[in-house]
Chain A
Amino acid sequence: MRILIVDDSVVMRKIVEGALRHAGLELTEAQHAANGAEGLAALEDAAARGELFDLILCDVHMPVLDGLGFLREKSQRNLGPGTPVVMITADSSDPHLLQAIDAGAQGYIAKPFTLEQVQTRVASLLSSAAGNASSHHSLPPTSPAAHTLGGR
C-alpha cells in the first residue's frame, strides 16, 4: 500500500506513519510532503510514473499551501483521482475542516488520537473508498500491546 502524508510537522508525519504501520497496514511506500504544494508535486511525480497512492493523509493548516488548497488543486488538476484523502486536525470545530470535506476529503482524524482511533477511521475509509473487502486493505484486529502511539 502506498500512502502520502502531507503535514508541515515532521514529528506528526512520523507519528502518523508509525500509527498506520502499527494499525496493521503494510506500507510499501510512505511518502512525506511538508505542505500542499509538495503534496501536489508528489502526486504529479507518481502520475508520471503511472502510479497512484492508495491513501492521502493531509493536515488542514500548513504554510505555502494548506489542506484546502491542496484538495482544490488536486481536483482541478485531476491528480490522484479516486485516492481517498483524510484530513488530520487538532481543531475538529475548524470551519476549514468542513470546507475540506466539501472539497473532496473523505473524512478526518482528530488530534490527539489513539492507535485504535486511527485504525478504525482508516479501515472505514478504505472500505468505503474501495467499496469492497479487498484483502490487502483489510486491517487485523487491534493488538492490545500496540495501543499507544508512544509505545510504537
Chain B
Amino acid sequence: MDAGIRDEWIRRMDDAVAEVFRSMLECDCAAVEESPGPGPGILASITFSGTMEAHCVVEFPSSTAKILTSAFLASDETDWDDAMIGDAVGELCNMIAGGWKRRLGPPAQASDLSIPCISRVPAGSRDRGTKKPDGMLVRRAYAFDAAPFVVCLSMD
C-alpha cells in the first residue's frame, strides 16, 4: 500500500473511531501500541459492496465487549448475555464503518454497507485480517477506559 494512502486511511479511521466514543459515550478513544491479548473474543464485520469492495472488522476481547455494552446502556450491569454483547459490538462496527465511509467521499460513498455479522472466537484464534494480493489492509488497536480492541479495514 502506498504510504500516503495508508496514512490517510489511518487518519480517517482514527477520526471515525474517536467520533463514535465522543458522541455516544463522551469518552476518549485513541490508538494504542499494544493489541489485546489472545483471549476469547467477539468479532463484528461489515462488508462494503458496489462502488467499493471492502470490509470493516472490529475485534473485542470478551472483557472489553462487556465494558462496551455497559457503557452503551449506561448500566453497572456486567453479566450481559451473548446477544446483547453482540448487539453492542455490531453497533460499534456499524458506526465506525459508516463514519469511515463518509470520510472517504465519492465514489466510495455510493457503496452499500451490510448488516453487521457477529461471530465468536476462542482464545488464540482471533482474526488477524486478510487481504488480496493487490488489496489494502490497515489493522489498528484502540483503547477506551483502558479497555483495548482492534479495528481492521481491508479493501479488495
Contacts and interface: CB of A to CB of B under 8 A. Distances in A.
Interface of A: 8-12, 14-15, 18, 61-63, 89-96, 111-114, 117, 147-152
Contacts, number: 85
B98 A91 contact: yes
Interface of B: 19-20, 22-27, 69, 71-74, 83-84, 87-88, 90-91, 94-95, 97-99, 101-102, 109-110, 112-115
A113 B94 CA distance: 13
A93 B110 CA distance: 7
A11 B91 contact: yes
A9 B73 CA distance: 12
A14 B73 contact: yes
20 contacts: A8-B115, A9-B91, A10-B83, A11-B84, A11-B87, A15-B72, A15-B73, A89-B98, A90-B94, A91-B113, A93-B101, A96-B112, A111-B98, A112-B23, A112-B99, A113-B23, A113-B24, A117-B23, A149-B25, A149-B26
A16 to B, nearest CB: 11
A14 B88 CA distance: 11
Contacts of B113: 61, 90-91, 94
B71, B94, B97, B112, most chain A CB atoms within 10 A = B94
B74 A149 contact: yes
Q: Is chain A's interface secondary structure helix, strand, loop, or mixed overall?
A: loop
A11 B69 contact: yes
Contact of B74 (A8, A12, A150): A150
Contacts of A93: 101-102, 109-110
Contact of B25 (A11, A90, A96, A148): A148
B112 A111 contact: no
B18 to A, nearest CB: 10
